[in-house]
Chains A and B, each alone.
With several copies, the nearest count.
Chain A
């Protein structure tokens, strides 16, 4: 399993942009305030992140493109992430989700999340509406959803050292 590409529309400072993810180490560079950490936020968000604090926002609508001096704010944020190299045998979609079975044969999958200004949100797998639970259970099998050591946000690296012994245990159990 690997990240193939991501399309962002109206997500934070990205009015519309697409990224292709290479293999190996990719360095993301750019001036202060240009939008590098927003890319990390987009990946966390499309994988189902619910905490506004982790997304550096006061409320979830703050992730929707808020406009600039020359552009109006948008009414919706949408991020689609294409994941490749899936092993169909690994994907155990629970029957209850009503998702078509051919989903489980695909090598690739596109996960989409949308949020409207009115607070309504949508989740889609290969353009078919689903629930967050479905995305979560899909990701569980690929370990892409596990937070532990997958994402280290800016300024957070020392967290594990400063945490209490009890909290460290929980952080490590998350990885197990």
Chain B
């Protein structure tokens, strides 16, 4: 229903701006409702509902659009939106598969900071190759293939992992 969407939208907008500020201190981001441009032939698109545009500005920069963000900046912006939507409609668990891959050390720190906050009320399963992300986890389990082609689960302590 229309009222429901606009209430959710307002909440999401607010949380998105908040989490983005935690990932990009001094930066600014918001969502904008945009009407769909008429098709090439001038026909109105027929879609009554407006779409959602994302504006994200890392600190000190003057970007024209999110297509100019770097690989890591894009991932961090997408995470801010993901975590914002989790904050307004929490689910009991969340599975994240190597979402930290493009991030540098500093941004891994920011990502894991917010992650720890969210994990107070939900289970987070985070697949990662990054030692820093592993180091903040409450528990760790390993997947191995001692027998080629057959996966086994083993419990792992952080100390077990070979040093970089």
Contact = CB atoms under 8 A, between A and B. Distances in A.
B143 A160 contact: no
B147 A172 contact: no
A1 interface: yes
Contacts of B140: 26-27, 29
Contacts of A62: 64, 68
A24 B124 contact: yes
A30 to B, nearest CB: 4
B42 interface: no
B139 A31 contact: no
A15 B143 contact: no
Interface residues of A, number: 70
B163 interface: no
A166 interface: yes
Contact of A172 (B12, B74, B126): B12
Contacts of B75: 157-158
Interface of B: 4-5, 8-9, 12, 34, 36, 47, 49-54, 58, 60-79, 81-83, 85-86, 88-99, 102-104, 106-107, 115-116, 119-120, 123-129, 133-134, 136-145, 147-153, 156, 161
5 closest Cβ pairs, A-B complex: A165-B51, A32-B72, A35-B151, A68-B149, A24-B138
